[in-house]
Amino acid sequence: MPPVIDLEGLGLDGGAHLLIDHALAALRPGESLRVRGHHPALAVQLAAWCRSEGHLYLPEMTVVKGSADAERWAHAERAGQAAATVAERAKPEWGLAARGALVEPGGPPLDVDWAERDHVWADIAPQLYAQANANQWNPATAVDWAGPHTVPDDIEDAVVQIMTYLVENEQAALMIPARLLARLHPHYREVMQLLAAQAADEARHLEIFTRRALLYRDVLGVSGAGGRSSLQSLLDEPDYTLASFLLSVLGEGSFLDLLRFVQRHAPDRATADVTMLAGRDEARHVAFGVAHTAHVVRTDPAYLARLRGAVERRHSVLVDTAGLNKEVFDSLVVLAAGSWTPDAIGHGWRQVQRLQHTMDEGRQRRLEFIGFPADEAAEISALHTRNFM
């Protein structure tokens, strides 16, 4: 006797197929299910439904289970072993399926460039992403925008120029992770999330630096061609790890010191706030870049040569450009000087020399952490762009 399902008054225009599917799930293809019910159009509905689902309808309300469903899932595989396991290689065929989901074959393959764990991963990514979420802040309220305006005019000129420079660097820092994440297989979800959070951080940095520049002025400072060439060379790096290394390890690493410098010499609360907030985010960006690059080098020590090659290549592209434009450098001196006396300017000059030294030390430290011997780390750090980023 075949099993029987009683639909009572429910029709297939009202959800009865769920009950039938549920009953059919226990059967093998070729086995029958008797259907009972008193919906007036049940027979015509059932025949049409069976046809569309690949079941055989026999008059007098019998469904013979078809094999379509079994065939559809016959070659299905999970996108990785489990939700918590990150696969060494993510298949394009997994597409946008959630990690660990059972993937029906036959969908469109995902067109992404980076689908190997060791090419994109760092074990610290999930933690950094959690930290990024915990440390979100609101540009409207986290900065003291309404403090008293006591900044002298020529110091304000320097602040506006530095902010103008920071904005163009932030724009590059936004575009790079945005480009990287669009080419990444979403199986490496935590990395994608982290890059998205990083892009969102940079979007906020753009906002606060622009807002600080325009706090007391209507006009921004200048944008030098050399500085933009330096940033363009970052955008031009097509490789994931090399782009991450140049941007986050060397560039944003140097920026950490720059932001601290501006914060220390800030002539007002707003300037101190914006550089402090951006610096906190940047520390996270640097941490991921360093952890990721170190991860790659651990799995392939020969990669050190490629990292070095990328810095040398960038150096040779930029060797004939001005690097940091003069207006930015001078503004940093004036900011640290605080006034235009020769003593003060001399002091400011020494402060900026010290800043460059500190940046160099920081870069060497990170390069050594990644795996470079000390002498090589010093050589590579010296080749870093004069534009800081």
Partner 1 sequence: MSLLLGAVAYDPKVVTIWTGFRTWFRDRGVDFDYVLYSQYERQVEALLDGSIDLAWNSPLAWIRARRLARHRGAEVRAVAMRDTDRDLASVIVVRADSDLHTLDDLRGRTVATGAIDSPQATLLPLAVLADAGVQARIRRHDIGVGLHGDHIGGEREAARALRTGGADAACLIDANLLQFAREGVLPSGSVRVLGQTTPYDHCNLTAGPGVDAEAFVDMLLGMEYGDDQLRPLLDLEGLKQWLPGRTEGYAALDAAVTATGFYRQDGGIGATGYRP
Which residues of the chain form contacts with Fe ion (CB under 5 A)? 170, 173, 202, 205, 252, 282, 285
CA distance 291 to 250: 13
CA distance 249 to 191: 16
Closest distance to partner 1 from the beta carbon of 262 (Å):
57
54 binds, among partner 1, Fe ion, none (CB under 5 to 8 A by kind): partner 1
Asked if residue 27 lies in contact with residue 33, where contact means CB atoms within 8 angstroms, the answer is: yes
Among 1, 74, 302, 305, binds partner 1 (CB under 8 A): 74
Residue 41 contacts partner 1 per CB under 8 A: yes
By C-beta, is 228 or 308 nearer to Fe ion? 228
Among 28, 52, 148, 319, binds partner 1 (CB under 8 A): 52
66 binds, among partner 1, Fe ion, none (CB under 5 to 8 A by kind): partner 1
By C-beta, is 48 or 374 nearer to partner 1? 48
Cα separation values, 254 from 236, 353, 363, 366, 388, Å: 20, 14, 7, 11, 6
Per CB under 8 A, the segment of 37-45, 140-148, 286-294, 297-305 that binds partner 1 is 37-45
Place of tokens 């101190």: 272
Among 22, 36, 38, 75, binds partner 1 (CB under 8 A): 75
Asked if residue 180 lies in contact with residue 195, where contact means CB atoms within 8 angstroms, the answer is: yes
Closest distance to partner 1 from the beta carbon of 50 (Å):
10
68 binds, among partner 1, Fe ion, none (CB under 5 to 8 A by kind): partner 1
Cβ atoms within 10 Å of 113's Cβ, excluding its own: 13
- Give, as one character, the DSSP assignment of residue 387: T
Half-sphere CA count of 144, side-chain side, radius 13 A: 12
173 binds, among Fe ion, partner 1, none (CB under 5 to 8 A by kind): Fe ion
Considering CB under 8 A, how many residues would be counted as binding partner 1?
A: 26
12 binds, among partner 1, Fe ion, none (CB under 5 to 8 A by kind): partner 1
Asked if residue 382 lies in contact with residue 361, where contact means CB atoms within 8 angstroms, the answer is: no
Collapse the DSSP code of 298 into the 3-class scheme (helix H, G, I; strand E, B; otherwise coil) and give the result.
helix
* Nearest partner of 363 among 219, 248, 196, judged by Cα: 248
Residue 106 contacts partner 1 per CB under 8 A: yes
Closest distance to partner 1 from the beta carbon of 296 (Å):
34
Place of tokens 């993937």: 103
Residue 68 contacts partner 1 per CB under 8 A: yes
Residue 38 contacts partner 1 per CB under 8 A: no
Residue 49 contacts partner 1 per CB under 8 A: yes
For strand 4-6 and strand 32-36, is the pairing parallel, antiparallel, or unpaired?
parallel
Per CB under 8 A, the segment of 99-107, 215-223, 322-330, 337-345 that binds partner 1 is 99-107
For strand 62-64 and strand 56-58, is the pairing parallel, antiparallel, or unpaired?
antiparallel
Among 3, 14, 30, 301, binds partner 1 (CB under 8 A): 14
Among 12, 151, 206, 334, binds partner 1 (CB under 8 A): 12
By C-beta, is 80 or 177 nearer to Fe ion? 177
| Dihedral (CA of 144, 150, 155, 161) sign | positive
Per CB under 8 A, the segment of 103-111, 145-153, 219-227, 294-302 that binds partner 1 is 103-111
Residue 382 contacts partner 1 per CB under 8 A: no
Residue 148 contacts partner 1 per CB under 8 A: no
Q: What is the DSSP string of 224-269?
A: -HHHHHHHHHHHT---HHHHHIIIIIIIIHHHHHHHHHHHHT-SSH
Residue 11 contacts partner 1 per CB under 8 A: yes
| Per-residue mark of binding to partner 1, 182-221 (x: CB under 8 A) | ----------------------------------------
Asked if residue 166 lies in contact with residue 254, where contact means CB atoms within 8 angstroms, the answer is: no
Q: What single letter denotes the amino acid at residue 372? A: F
CA distance 67 to 28: 8
